[in-house]
Structures are given as C-alpha cells and as structure tokens.
Structure 1
Amino acid sequence: MEVAPRTYRRAVDKDDAKFAVAAANGGIAEVELGTLAQQKAVNQKVKDFGGMMVSDHSKANEEMKALAKSKGITLPTKIDSDEQKVKDNLSSKSGADFDKAYVDNMIEDHKNDIKEFEDATKNLKDPDLKAFAVKTLPTLKMHLEAIQKIHDTMK
C-alpha cells in the first residue's frame, strides 16, 4: 500500500508573519477608507483616488490572503482598533473637512507603508512574501505621488 507523501508547511519567521498581518490590516483599512472617500468626498479627484484605493488594495489583499493561507499565517478579517479610530474620525467629517483629513491621512499612511515595504524587501526571509513586497512597492509609491498631487491642488 502506497502512502501519499505528506506536505509540511515550513514555519514562517515571526517577523515575516508580522509583516503579512500588518500589510493585510493596512490593505483592509485602505479599502474601507477608500469606500468612505467615494461616498463622502466633495472633490472629484479625492473620490477617484478613493476608488483607486478600493481597486488596487482589494487586488493586493486577495494576493496576500492566498499567500498567507499557503504559509499558514492567519490574517485579520477586519481593521484593528487604531485603523477603526481613523475611520470613525473620518466618518464624523464632511465636505472639504473630510477631503482634507482623508488626503492628509493617505499621505501619512502611504509614507509609512512605503517604509514598511522597503524594509520588507530587504529583511523578509520568506521569498514569496519578499516578492509580494517588491511587487507591491511601486504601486504604493504611485499612490503617494497621486495623493500628493491632489493635496498640492487643494487650497
């Protein structure tokens, strides 16, 4: 009787797993805040940027979900309490106040994301997670550039 070979998942380094969880949390937040921007923004460019966040980050979230599953990493399914505070704060604003707060948050958030992903491209041990970081980094930089341009046109 032949026995099928067992496949064992190699344990992922805890820092690599931490990156995956943080990336997933940030991605979920980008989608939720982008949806909020599509609903609440008065500036069409801010609405459009929100749409790009929903589209791009939903795609990245799906990739990360599949990757994490293959590595045995459990990802969050909803935003953490810090991101929830940001969402609640933005939800309480309207009009130009919302637009300004959302744009400022996106600039700050993408600067932080870029730093995290740049660190990940250098420090992650898992080749698949590292490849995800390398692949996603240019999109994050493009997002920062886009939101910076919108910020610069707002008065």
Structure 2
Amino acid sequence: MKKNIVLTAVMASSLALFGVPAAFAKSPAKADTAAAAYDVDKASFVKVVSSSNAFEIESSKLAEQKAKDADVKEFARQMIADHTKAGEGLKKAAKLEGPQPAMAPKHAAMLETLKGASDKDFQPLYIDMQAAAHAEAVSLFATYAKGGDDKAVKAFAQKTLPTLEMHKMHVQKLVAAH
C-alpha cells in the first residue's frame, strides 16, 4: 500500500517537477470534447522523454554492475537496450540533431541517489525508482499517443507505448519478488 501511495504521488507531481505543467497539457476547448485526450505540446514531451530516457539508461548501467539478483540485472540490460532504441526513435521522429540536453534536475538527483546508495540499499531503490519511472512514462506516452500535437512524434509514442507497458508489468513483478 505504501508503495502505491508513493508511486501515485510521483506520477501526480512529475510534470510539475520539470516546470512544464501549463505548457504540457491544455484542457479541451469545448465542453463536448472534455472527455477527449488532452492536447500535448511536442517540445515539453520531448524534453521530459529525453531526460527520463537518459535516466533509464544510466541507472540501468549502474544496476548491471551493482544489483545482486540475476533477474534485476537482466531487467537492467533490457532497459538499456529498449531505451537506447527509444531514444533513437525519438530523435528521428522529432527531427532532433546533435547532443540532447542535460538530464533534468529531478532525474539527475535520482541518479545521484542511486550512485550513493549502499550495496544493501541499491537494488530495492533501483526497483522502486524503475516502478515509479515506468508508471510515469506509461501515463505520459498514453497521453501523447492520444492527443499529441506532432504526427510523427505521436506515432512514435503509439509505437513505443506497448514496450513501456511491458516494462511496467516486468518491474511490478520485480517489486513483488523482492
């Protein structure tokens, strides 16, 4: 129960931590479209996804080295492969060139926390962070897939969402097992 409360709080505040809530989602213009998906700003989506993706890769590289259990190490390898592929897909869809911006302060702080974690605390912390990150990512991608403002990036979100949903289910199994 405690983990569910923490995950809900993380998801609810994630965009505010990036400082983009007003720019990210706008309410539908008409009452009859109130049930429709929110309109989502491409620049904000790309910013959040780029940072989140970098966190997934870097934290999983640490987990390959520091995690104790084989299932967690395998999950980390899968995260590196899938999020590297997703990063390339985002660059192509959004027509991004050159190096991507630095990791957002939220993700940088999470990564530093992982780096400083003791051997005993690392694995449970990594699993909890991955659970929160994937709950957040599924919500973000589902929103953009329904109401995104850029056709190519929206198609990328739609294509990537099932993989993120699979990651979310996988990490939930890790939470239950550890």
Pair in the same fold by TM > 0.5: yes
Write out per-residue CA displacement over residues 80-106 of structure 1, whole angstroms, 9 at most, x where no aligned residue: 221111011011113341110000011
Aligned partners of 2:40 and 2:165: how far apart in 1? Answer: 26
Aligned match of 1:20: 46
**Alignment of 1:150 onto 2:143:** no
Q: Is the 8 A contact 2:63 2:72 kept in 1?
A: yes
Asked if 1 retains the 8 angstrom alpha-carbon contact of 2:40 and 2:147, the reply is: no
Q: Which runs of 5+ in 1 are unaligned?
A: 1-12
The Cα shift of 1:43 comes to: 1.3
User: What is the aligned-residue identity percentage?
Assistant: 34
Q: TM-score, normalised by structure 1?
A: 0.83
CA contact (8 A) 1:37 1:46 kept: yes
The one-letter amino acid paired with 1:30 is: E
The SS at the match of 2:141 is helix
Query: What are the ranges of 5 or more consecutive residues in structure 2 without an aligned counterpart?
Result: 1-38
**Aligned-pair distance for 1:73?**
7.9
- Say which of 117, 120, 126 aligns to 2:150: 126
* Cα shift readout 1:49-97 (whole Å, capped 9, x = no counterpart): 111110000001011112222xx68873431221111011011113341
Question: Relative to structure 1, is the Cα distance of residues 47 and 33 closer, same or farther in structure 2, using a 3 angstrom cutoff?
Answer: same
- Whole-angstrom CA distance in 1 between matches of 2:99 and 2:134: 20
Q: Give the C-alpha shift of residue 126 in structure 1.
A: 1.3
User: Which residue in the other structure is 2:16 paired with?
Assistant: none
Give the residue type in structure 1 aligned to 2:83: H
1:24, distance to aligned residue in structure 2 (A)? 1.3
Partner of 2:74: 48
The Cα shift of 1:14 comes to 8.0
Does the CA contact (< 8 Å) of 2:94 and 2:152 recur in 1?
A: no
Kept after mapping to 2: 8 A contact 1:38/1:51 = yes
Structure 2 distance, partners of 1:73, 1:111, is 28
Structure 1 position 79 matched with structure 2 position 112: no
Is the aligned partner of 1:115 residue 2:109? no
Instruction: Tell me which structure has the larger Cα radius of gyration.
Output: 1
RMSD across aligned positions (CA): 2.0
Give deviations 1:19-74, integer Å, cap 9, x for gaps. Answer: 112111111111111101101111111111111110000001011112222xx688
Alignment size in residue pairs: 140
- Paired residues of 1:114 and 1:137 also in contact (CA < 8 A): yes
Cα distance, 1:137–1:14 mapped onto 2, change above 3 Å: closer
